[in-house]
Structure 1
């Protein structure tokens, strides 16, 4: 049986190698500094301007609230489908149903939050699939820090800081842009929850299920007088409770908080499942051919990445790409679920890298026996490389072919048999990002494994030096990956608390809006105030 397994493995390797060699040399993989035939290139770090990890993160984060809140300035546009039969909600101050362009919420709590006076909530059901363009990041937040950059480019050809508060003009403009493309019903954006901008309520794509006059809210808990609140958050004159009502009315502050609670349901994968992503249409501004943006990103933390420096010619090129994407028939791509591919990579490595970081922490290393601790780390490295650790992949002095083989197999394990011919140009970009991201994970782990291979028999001085070196390598890799799966509330929140990061349009009194560290907040003592202007 073992002999048969070896034969099968050898055959699979022979089948995979031509594909791997061909794809590694492909022109559309120019960002991958890796050539399967170059034994010296396996340990080359990513290019300084590589965007593989950024694109990987954007694909892995689609439909999820937490990563898009942390990395609030979106850089990607992708088509999504809201299926037939989906219930959506719209809150307003009167009983007239919208007819033109307006917003819809995925959950009642979000629509209820929008009632600032008399409250009417209309529930709709989709009568057919809605095809929408999803703008990632916190693309519905009225901030001047870059949250509107992508949609401003669609509307005006450049980011417009003078239009930050012009919400009605922006919605009208983005719907006007979408009119050019048959079958595009609107857009999806996110603030503390996802919202749909439906460009034409009279198109027959949705029909009313119910129109309910909901209880008015009590605004007395707001400490600030209305004139100090932003215009879109000022309550209308107080509405009397219905005849016969006893006790308190629903709290306006609680309504706002519960909208954030509903948004938190989509914090992590799979995220908002009421929209399906068409990965074949994924258009990103993390494109290294946009040289003005490449230069502007150097040395800048991701939270401050913007599109404000994009040139007119680069803008025209991206608008042409979007026109091609939304002008072609839906479902033109390969059908590969790239979101699942990115999640598989994260699932395999995220917890294990976090474990390595814990094991290599100074307090852990200082208190441990060097030989036992180095062996423990070695075992974890071997676990991560086990799928690629063939019997001939044994380190040998002066011969790096074993490492090259491991990195090659590890980097392309999910993509080696996906042919270019079935991929859209946008999917090829995702494929390259998956391989480039996986390659850097595999490169760093293999570099550590090369040191760890014979560490069990080494002296204590070398063992402690290796532990210190590995700590730096793990920290470097995790910082480069910057996965939001590592952003968690520690310790876990109690049932009367919510794991929270600063989220427009509200902030907790003790929070710094620039600090995106998750922390627990009370669900019963609501210390909310408007986001600082």
Structure 2
């Protein structure tokens, strides 16, 4: 049987496999997950400011110097470097959760703190950080990890578990390239956050003895996006360790008020605006239980488990799509190539009775293919959140295996088939592969083809910067120049 139309197994699976990877969380910017993470001892953070002191109130830090340097805009450029002197426990919001947009990027944070999304409060960041810190304090949450074009840590207390490494006055930046526009990235008809006003920076005086040009603001700011792209793909941002056993997701189908709102809606448009008071209460209670729990669950690395599945099937499914794409000039030959690929994917689950003379040959094949070893773990060993992840893994695998097995039934004797039958089967297979890949929606299939030259990076619209030709919901990858910020390569 195909998955239920309201199933979210594939969304939960993809969320788990994509945590702390920038590319998928940019493609699907409206996050639906909250999970504790550990920032280990020795982790270094940076905070850019225009005053020669360390914040005494909650404030933002960056994981890369280049990101902190952006905030040195209109005067002296001080950057505080901090090191964690012990493990710090943070909460992470997936998606592009640092984006100040009214189109859904902040929904999960708003529900947690204020009970429902407030699109018109997307720029109310000081109140947001204060309320988040107040919420997290009873659970030992000391900050919040969010992703934009770069990872950032919202720290609740700069004096707790952190040591100042340095507080230095850096070389100021000069000017701005008007082609690189800092704006909330959203549909003006849907985003209730108004565009930021034009940026006018005073021209800084170079330090005494300096020769030549100062760093250009456009290039220096652009490096925040460049360094963020280092963590686009697996393994992603490795400086933080995910506590999968306490992962809470708004894709839980028990949150019934959100189910109907997702039907027929593209994933990047999924919102939490329809969440009911009862469902808000339910998810907050689950967060309190999961984040407040002393035991840390089974210890299963669910991220690795999901990524192994993606690694096993992503390239092979793409190969199938490639084989099936052209109109066949020799249908039997093309079908035979597909058969080889199907056999490669399914042979680990085939036994000597995997032949049509056995009445259960297809059902047993699907069962073996879609049953991961983790299904044997005792239920009592897993937290409720881990059981949800386990079920999502099995549900996702089942649909992969179901589709491949349906194709294998026709491929079993295709080498003996007529040209007409092979041509008809190829059309059916093309439909199966297309529908399966659309359902899975894995970001590994979204990339620049052909790849970018060394003087460019692959890019999709990323808050807060527009480059030329951006359309907010057209996530077609493009190569943009590393040498000319805001320009296509």
Same fold (TM over 0.5): yes
Q: Matches of 1:77 and 1:473 in 2, distance apart? A: 33
Which of 343, 346, 353 is matched with 2:307 structurally?
343
Residue 171 of structure 2 is matched in structure 1 by: 215
Summarize deviations over 1:124-155 as a string: whole Å, max 9, x none.
11000010000000111011100010000111
Larger radius of gyration: 1
Is the aligned partner of 1:333 residue 2:297? yes
Please point out which of 508, 523, 531 is paired with 2:467: 508
Q: How far does residue 235 in structure 1 lie from its aligned partner after superposition? A: 5.1
2:249 is aligned with 1:284: yes
Matches within 5 A, 1:125-204: 125-181=83-139, 183-203=140-160
| 3-state SS of 1:90 partner | strand
What is the distance in 1 between the residues matched to 2:32 and 2:40?
25
Give the counterpart of 1:366 among 323, 328, 335.
328
Q: 1:299 aligns with which of 264, 268, 272?
A: 264
- Flag the 1:254–1:471 CA change in 2: closer, same or farther, 3 A: same
> Match of 1:366, SS?
coil
Cα distance change of structure 1 residues 231 and 443 upon mapping to structure 2, 3 Å threshold: closer
Match of 1:59 among 2, 16, 31: 16
User: Unmatched 5+ residue regions in structure 1?
Assistant: 1-43
In structure 2, what is the Cα distance between the partners aligned to 1:101 and 1:170?
A: 10
RMSD over aligned Cα, in angstroms?
A: 1.9
1:409-457 C-alpha deviation (Å, 9 max, x unpaired): 1111332322211100000000000000000000000000001101110
Contact residue 116 and residue 235 of structure 1 kept, 8 A: no
The superposition leaves residues 457-476 of structure 1 with CA deviations (integer Å, 9 ceiling, x where unpaired) of 01110001011110000000
> Paired residues, what number?
478
State the Cα distance separating 1:271 from its structure 2 match.
0.5
Q: Is the 8 A contact 2:243 2:296 kept in 1?
A: no
Q: Give the superposition deviation at 1:51.
A: 0.4
Is the deviation greater in 85-94 or in 435-444? 85-94
> Distance in 2 between the 1:374 and 1:414 partners?
32
Q: Secondary structure of 1:80's partner?
A: strand
Cα offset, 1:247, TM superposition: 1.2
- Select the residue among 321, 328, 336 that pairs with 1:375: 336
Of 243, 262, 278, 1:313 maps to: 278
Return the offset for 1:239: 2.3
Over 3 Å counting, the alpha-carbon distance change for 1:446 and 1:197 in structure 2 is same
Alpha-carbon distance, 1:219 to partner: 1.4
Which of 444, 447, 451 matches 2:410?
451
Query: 1:227-275: CA deviations, max 9, x gaps?
Result: 9996588455332110111111101111111000110011011100000
> Per-residue deviation at 1:528?
6.5
* Structure 2 CA distance for aligned equivalents of residues 420 and 232 of structure 1: 54
SS at match of 1:140: coil
Q: 1:284 to 1:224 in 2, by over 3 A?
A: closer
| Map of 1:38 onto structure 2 | none
Structure 2 spans left out of the alignment, 5+ residues: 185-193
Cα pair 2:43 2:83 within 8 Å, conserved: yes
The residue that corresponds to 1:493 in the other structure is 452
